[in-house]
Amino acid sequence: MADYDYDVLVIGAGPGGYVAAIRAAQLGLKTACAEGRETLGGTCLNVGCIPSKAMLHASEYFEAAAGGAMAAMGIKVTPELDLGTMHGQRKDAVKGLTGGIEFLFKKNKVDWLKGYAQFTGKDSVEVAGKTYRAKNIIIATGSSVTPLPGVAVDNDKGVIVDSTGALELAKVPGHMVVIGGGVIGLELGSVWRRLGAKVTVVEFLDQILPGMDGDVRKEANKIFKKQGMDFKLKTKVTGAEVKGKKAVLTLEPAAGGDAETLEADVVLVSIGRCPNTDGLALDKAGLTTNQRGQIETDHDFRTAVDGIWAIGDVVPGPMLAHKAEDEGIACAENIAGLTGIVNHDVIPSVVYTWPEIAGVGLTEEQAVEKAGGEKGDVKVGKFPMLANSRAKTNHEPDGFVKVIADAKSDRVLGVWIIAVPAGTMIAQAAQAMEFGATSEDIAYTCHAHPTHSEAIKEAAMAVTGKPIHI
Ligand code: FAD
Ligand code: NAI
């Protein structure tokens, strides 16, 4: 490697990039990671997964105290919101975890090249005025908020914000309008609703949470409505005007029609994210992006240019931290000559609302379509959380587990859960699917009692029509 500075140079230190860098170094490769942010960890640790969960968790406690759930269990408290402290614990969580990655880089001898990288050739990049040559370059530059024309985000003003601004609001808005009924809108909308805001979600499609199972989307909408969120479905925002400390939005039916206005103290723009490739000078490396701005790779994460690899939010697939991490590990292993594989058919996804919403594998609609549109080729078992002893005892009756299996082989094709700990429960379903389990395998696996997970066993039993508790 005489004239290379590194065996592996990773661009971006998010869950994809930092994990790839650590795994490459563990495998004995001389590794560097370029990151322009002041701290490592990417979107996820700095402004995504971690700070949002810190606010979700804290606001759950607040609502349990303020909303009467604690009083119902004999704990009477009158909570007072100290938003400064709540933000403080969020920042502490971020600081602790991003600092932890810096420690892991040092421990594994990964060089952090501080600055934004851009290609100067197919095996070289420039970072902070210095050029580095690497035998392998992994692009892990992640994604950024998709802008909405006519609705300009200004996180500093705090009136029209994106997810980063919505994590940091200095006070609870009177009325928050969320544009986009996807994961970010529902999670961050839930945070501020629990803390006292009236929340209206404006969604372009006829239902929230696109991509999820149809039953789940309907049930989730019902639950969030019951919690007090307002929904304007089949509606698009065509413009926004900031007047002092308020925003006035113009809305129209998605299919066209009369416009109406809606006033908000805070508007959250959460209509999706797009891959970060601007500023990389991809042309210098001979790379292009597809129509969606993503970098295409093969199954091993190789791009069209030999020696350049790509992983995480910048490549096609769900924009999820665990997917990026697994791709990071597999990509580093492939570079080291091992066989790194990610099973993209079994990537769980979780919405961290109350209750949580989780899924893995196919939706019922996808399973039926894959079976050639024949409903009879797919078997479905459902079990309501209301009939699960632990959920009932904990006063958590909302939701269900749905197991979708192939009618002939009984192999599990997908599992969907709405339950308070759905994010934890879904791991079992993912593992079962990874091992090629049938619904009968799950139904005959002993589950501890009383746990929410018993609902997965009963839903699996329901696939062949024999649950015990309903
Ligand atoms: P990123 O985490 O985006 O990291 C890319 C890094 O590359 C960034 O730090 C960026 O500064 C750096 N970079 C970009 N260009 C360059 C360059 N030219 N040179 C050097 N560095 C560069 N996912 C989940 O699975 N669970 C969750 O709970 C979850 N919650 C989320 C909440 C919010 C509010 C948001 C916004 C996202 C959330 N996500 C969640 C999604 C998750 O954050 C992303 O899927 C994940 O971070 C993608 O990882 P990545 O490594 O591909 O990219
Ligand atoms: P999203 O893709 O989840 O949802 C965007 C929503 O906005 C969709 O329902 C879409 O129909 C709607 N929309 C699009 N244009 C619109 C318009 N003009 N007007 C009204 N509605 C419109 O995107 P979101 O919530 O921004 O999240 C981005 C990514 O971040 C997601 O891909 C998600 O995977 C990731 N993420 C993951 C989390 C998790 O795993 N818990 C948490 C937060 C984000």
| Cβ partners under 8 Å of residue 406, min gap 6 | 367, 371, 377, 378, 379, 413
Nearest CA to ligand 1 atom 14: 141
Tell me the ligand closest to 350's alpha carbon. Answer: 2
Consecutive H or E run containing 338: none
Residue 140: is it exposed, middle or buried by C-beta count within 10 angstroms (0-12/13-18/19+)?
A: buried
Q: Which residues are annotated as a binding site for FAD?
A: 53, 141-143, 313, 319-322
Tell me the ligand closest to 151's alpha carbon. Answer: 2
When pLDDT is averaged across residues 38-52 and rounded to a whole number, the result is 98
Report if residue 343 sits inside a domain: no
Residue to mutate (ligand 2; options 273, 350, 354, 357; most atoms within 8 A of CB): 273
Q: At what angle do helices 183-194 and 214-226 cross, to 10 degrees?
A: 20
Which residue ranges have their beta carbon within 6 Å of ligand 1? 11-17, 34-37, 42-44, 48-49, 52, 116-117, 140-143, 163, 184, 276, 279-280, 312-313, 319-322, 324, 352
pLDDT (0 to 100) of residue 6: 98
Ligand 2 atom at shortest distance from the alpha carbon of 210: 9
123 and 89 in a common domain? yes
Decide if 395 is catalytic. no
Confidence of residue 466 (pLDDT cuts 50, 70, 90): confident
Q: Which residues are annotated as a binding site for NAD(+)?
A: 180-187, 203, 272
Instruction: With a cut of 90, say whether residue 174 has pLDDT above it.
Output: yes
pLDDT (0 to 100) of residue 2: 56
Residue 303 CA, distance from chain mean position: 24
Q: Which of 209, 324, 227 is nearest to 276 (CA)?
A: 324
36 and 25 in a common domain? yes
pLDDT (0 to 100) of residue 465: 83
Report if residue 437 sits inside a domain: yes
Instruction: With a cut of 90, say whether residue 36 has pLDDT above it.
Output: yes
Q: Per the structure block, which two tokens stand in for 407?
A: 């009618």
For the Cβ of 205 lying below 6 angstroms from any atom of ligand 2, the answer is yes
Nearest CA to ligand 1 atom 27: 49
141 and 10 in a common domain? yes
Distance separating alpha carbons of residues 400 and 388, to the nearest angstrom? 9
Instruction: With a cut of 70, say whether residue 46 has pLDDT above it.
Output: yes
Q: Could you give the percent of the chain with pLDDT greater than 90?
A: 97
Residue to mutate (ligand 2; options 160, 183, 232, 323; most atoms within 8 A of CB): 183
- Give tens-digit pLDDT for 423-448: 999 999 999 999 999 999 999 999 99
Report if residue 342 sits inside a domain: no
Q: What is the ipTM of this complex?
A: 0.99
* CATH number of the domain within which 452 lies: 3.30.390.30
Phi, psi for 304 (deg, rounded to 5): -70, -15
In a 3-state reduction of DSSP, which class is residue 9?
strand
How many other β-carbons are positioned within 10 Å of the β-carbon of residue 436?
Answer: 10
Distance separating alpha carbons of residues 393 and 16, to the nearest angstrom? 40
Distance in Å, CA 245 to ligand 1 centroid: 30
Report if residue 470 sits inside a domain: no
Report if residue 163 sits inside a domain: yes
Report if residue 150 sits inside a domain: no
Residue 8 bridge partners (DSSP)? 31, 136
How does DSSP assign 159-172, residue by residue? SEE-HHHHHS-SS-
244 and 115 in a common domain? no
Instruction: With a cut of 80, say whether residue 70 has pLDDT above it.
Output: yes
Distance separating alpha carbons of residues 295 and 290, to the nearest angstrom? 6
When pLDDT is averaged across residues 352-357 and rounded to a whole number, the result is 98
318 and 283 in a common domain? yes
Q: Among 296, 314, 336, where does a domain finish? A: 336
For the Cβ of 320 lying below 6 angstroms from any atom of ligand 2, the answer is yes
163 and 37 in a common domain? no
283 and 141 in a common domain? yes
Mean pLDDT score of the chain, rounded to an integer? 97
Distance separating alpha carbons of residues 345 and 343, to the nearest angstrom? 5
Residue to mutate (ligand 1; options 9, 10, 33, 43; most atoms within 8 A of CB): 43
Distance in Å, CA 453 to ligand 1 centroid: 30
pLDDT (0 to 100) of residue 73: 96
Q: Per the structure block, which two tokens stand in for 362?
A: 């196919």
When pLDDT is averaged across residues 46-57 and rounded to a whole number, the result is 98
Instruction: With a cut of 80, say whether residue 417 has pLDDT above it.
Output: yes
Distance in Å, CA 271 to ligand 1 centroid: 16
Tell me the ligand closest to 351's alpha carbon. Answer: 2
367 and 438 in a common domain? yes
Confidence of residue 316 (pLDDT cuts 50, 70, 90): very high
pLDDT (0 to 100) of residue 376: 82
pLDDT (0 to 100) of residue 374: 74
The answer to whether 166 and 188 have CB atoms below 8 angstroms apart is yes
pLDDT (0 to 100) of residue 456: 98
- Give tens-digit pLDDT for 179-204: 999 999 999 999 999 999 999 999 99
Nearest CA to ligand 1 atom 36: 48
Q: Which of 313, 317, 303, 374 is nearest to 123 (CA)?
A: 303
* CATH number of the domain within which 100 lies: 3.50.50.60
Phi, psi for 424 (deg, rounded to 5): -85, -40
Q: Among 214, 242, 271, where does a domain finish? A: 271
Nearest CA to ligand 2 atom 4: 182
129 and 41 in a common domain? yes
Nearest CA to ligand 1 atom 7: 12
Read off the amino acid at residue 101.
I
Domains held by the chain: number:
3
Ligand 2 atom at shortest distance from the alpha carbon of 181: 9
Report if residue 341 sits inside a domain: no
125 and 247 in a common domain? no
When pLDDT is averaged across residues 243-271 and rounded to a whole number, the result is 97
Give the range of the structural domain holding residue 129, as residue numbers without chain letter: 6-145+274-336
pLDDT (0 to 100) of residue 373: 80
Distance in Å, CA 55 to ligand 1 centroid: 18
Q: Among 219, 239, 271, where does a domain finish? A: 271
Report if residue 446 sits inside a domain: yes
Strand-by-strand arrangement of the 356-361 sheet: 349-351, 356-361, 412-419, 400-406, 378-384
Q: Per the structure block, which two tokens stand in for 338?
A: 């091992």
Nearest CA to ligand 2 atom 26: 272
124 and 101 in a common domain? yes
When pLDDT is averaged across residues 124-144 and rounded to a whole number, the result is 98
Only one residue has tokens 């303020």, namely 66
Distance separating alpha carbons of residues 279 and 441, to the nearest angstrom? 50
Confidence of residue 1 (pLDDT cuts 50, 70, 90): low
97 and 224 in a common domain? no
Q: Per the structure block, which two tokens stand in for 409?
A: 């082989």
For the Cβ of 384 lying below 6 angstroms from any atom of ligand 2, the answer is no
Q: Which of 57, 449, 452, 469 is catalytic?
A: 449
Instruction: With a cut of 80, say whether residue 375 has pLDDT above it.
Output: no
For the Cβ of 30 lying below 6 angstroms from any atom of ligand 2, the answer is no
